[in-house]
């Protein structure tokens, strides 16, 4: 598993933007930026939709006021689902990123097998990344939702 102080592995994530599908690299997402990234097991799932994403939406201005350039939400879903999920929650201040084949999640060592739920998914976590280096990592224990909450991350900024 990736740890604090490590540089993110070379990755690409996708995003469905107004002008079509975009493939974004580490340089696009993290170079010369301070970013909060949070990951969820699945778009439109109960905790993710009722608490995790909404809390980051509510606190986005306070998070950005701490010098954060961008807030990213990542899930092992496709870019179409992530765009629809963001729109359903009015997440205009959160960049919704798809890790469709779980390659980013696996490269971080934060994947889990949820065969009965949907196959390979992400562990619930949040991280602070500064110029591609992880400066804060908050990984939830299974079936918990404490350390990756928006309020907990805000307190670490």
What is the domain partition of the chain in residue ranges? 12-156
Query: Per residue in 52-93, pLDDT tens?
Result: 999 999 999 999 999 999 999 999 999 999 999 999 999 999
pLDDT value for 66: 98
Q: Is 73 annotated as catalytic?
A: no
Interatomic CA distance for residues 53 and 112, integer angstroms: 20
Catalytic residue among 48, 79, 97, 98: 48
pLDDT value for 115: 76
pLDDT value for 113: 83
pTM: 0.96
Over pLDDT 70: what percentage of the chain?
99
In order, the DSSP letters of 89-151 are: TT-TTSEEEE-TTSHHHHHHT-EEEETTTTEEEEPPEEEEEETTEEEEEEEPPTT--STTSHH
Query: Per residue in 11-40, pLDDT tens?
Result: 899 999 989 999 999 999 999 999 999 999
pLDDT value for 134: 98
Query: Per residue in 86-137, pLDDT tens?
Result: 999 999 999 999 999 999 999 999 999 887 766 899 999 999 999 999 999 9
* Average pLDDT value over all residues in the chain: 95
CATH class of 12-156: alpha beta
């Amino acid at each position: 598993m990736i740890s604090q102080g490590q540089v993110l592995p070379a990755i690409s994530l996708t995003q469905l933007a107004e002008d079509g599908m975009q493939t974004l690299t580490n340089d696009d997402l993290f170079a010369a930026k301070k970013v909060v990234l949070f990951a969820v097991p699945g778009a439109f799932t109960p905790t993710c939709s009722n608490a995790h994403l909404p809390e980051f939406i509510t606190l986005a201005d306070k998070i950005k006021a701490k010098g954060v350039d961008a807030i990213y939400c990542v899930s092992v879903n496709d870019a179409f689902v992530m765009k629809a999920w963001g729109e359903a929650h009015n997440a205009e201040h959160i960049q919704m990123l798809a890790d469709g084949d779980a390659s980013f999640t696996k490269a971080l060592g934060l994947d889990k097998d949820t065969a009965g739920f949907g196959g390979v998914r992400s562990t619930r976590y949040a991280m602070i990344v500064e110029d591609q280096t992880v400066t804060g990592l908050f990984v939830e224990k299974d079936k918990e939702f404490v350390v990756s909450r928006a309020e907990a991350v805000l307190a670490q900024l």
